[in-house]
Chains A and B, each alone.
Chain A
């Protein structure tokens, strides 16, 4: 039902003070799953992903009034979610007061004990392989491989050229293949 509203309709409803809360509720329901899984693949841990997702929607609530329709709402939401996720990992790295700490290797180790991870051995190996990628390559790989996003859409979200994204995905796939073949 909530998917039946287009982004433009949601924005119109949001800009009307009387239907603002209702429109926002519909927006959360429409995008919560997509954004959650996008964040979860970067953050790995459910509780952290939940915190980040809530913060994303609060930022959306605060900034939606100023949102200009010259870019897609979908692109804007994904951009906030990506930035918040990468910012969260950066904060995690610095809050431990160990600048060189490898957060990704910590996440990789935590996967085995994670109650919210149900993958088999090969899925675990694949996730570990993805966690060895540089951060931006990891995001590109997830968006392309799991979410099946088009390069043009990714370019808008990550503010990167299509050519650079293709090259990034190519390198990421090669690295994952190498890790899996070990």
Chain B
């Protein structure tokens, strides 16, 4: 108790307590810009007037927007804020991954592919000739060509004009091979 009471602000006590510190001249090592204290009252007065008018402080609009957000964020314990932000990042990454996976599956299932049936033979040949590094399955090509052939045959069967056009050829064929109506019926 006695020791505590001996601590006072006079230099003699400081000499005893801290010989090195007592030798240092008390001097303010900090500087300020020229005219700082002359302009400060006006700056503060202007800010107060603007606050009084209810206007946002000019030049501080970014601070006005972000400061409350930052304050709220810092009020949250960082132990909570960091895991929450990590979870948000993981969720966003998950959604992105799931979306891209679904899209690629759709592409694999042909949902978004241009069907070969929609291409003409010339277009297919052109793609094959100008191989741009795209891999095209051989079986897909054959399948597509067969489909196209069958489609043409079906069209020909359902279109009477096509029958008229090729009827001469059919008759010639039947005559040449000596096939009569009863043979055709038997074959069917």
Q: Which residues of chain A have a CB within 8 Å of any CB of chain B? A: 21, 24-25, 28-29, 32-33, 36-37, 40-41, 46, 50, 53-54, 57-58, 61-62, 91, 94-95, 97, 99, 115-120, 122-124, 126-127, 144-146, 148, 150, 163, 166-167, 169-170, 173-174, 176-177, 180-181
Contact = CB atoms under 8 A, between A and B. Distances in A.
Main SS of the interface on chain B? Answer: helix
10 A-B pairs with least C-beta separation: A119-B29, A177-B18, A123-B29, A94-B74, A180-B20, A116-B31, A28-B41, A61-B48, A57-B44, A173-B18
A163 B7 CA distance: 10
Nearest to B31: A116
Contact of A25 (B17, B29, B41, B47): B41
A58 B51 CA distance: 9
B85 to A, nearest CB: 10
Given A91-B74, A95-B70, A127-B29, A163 B4 contact: yes
B106 to A, nearest CB: 41
Interface centre among B4, B44, B82 (most CB of A within 10 A): B44
Contacts of B36: 50
Interface residues of B, number: 35
Contacts of B44: 28, 54, 57-58, 61
A3 to B, nearest CB: 13
B41 A54 contact: no
A111 to B, nearest CB: 9
B19 A177 contact: yes
B17 to A, nearest CB: 5
B51 A61 contact: yes
Given A62-B51, A94-B74, A116-B32, A29 B41 contact: yes
B50 to A, nearest CB: 10
Contact of B9 (A21, A99, A144): A144
Contacts of A116: 30-33
A97 B30 contact: no
B72 to A, nearest CB: 12
B77 to A, nearest CB: 9
A54 B43 contact: yes
Interface in B1-33: 4-5, 7, 9, 14, 17-21, 24, 26-33
A119 B27 contact: yes
Given A148-B9, A173-B21, A177-B17, A95 B74 contact: yes
Nearest to A28: B41
A176 B27 contact: no
Nearest to A93: B74
Contact of A117 (B18, B31, B78): B31
A117 B28 CA distance: 9
30 contacts: A21-B49, A24-B48, A28-B41, A29-B41, A32-B40, A50-B40, A53-B40, A58-B47, A58-B48, A95-B70, A95-B74, A99-B78, A116-B32, A118-B29, A119-B27, A122-B24, A123-B27, A123-B29, A124-B29, A145-B26, A146-B28, A166-B5, A173-B17, A173-B18, A173-B21, A174-B18, A177-B17, A177-B19, A180-B18, A181-B20
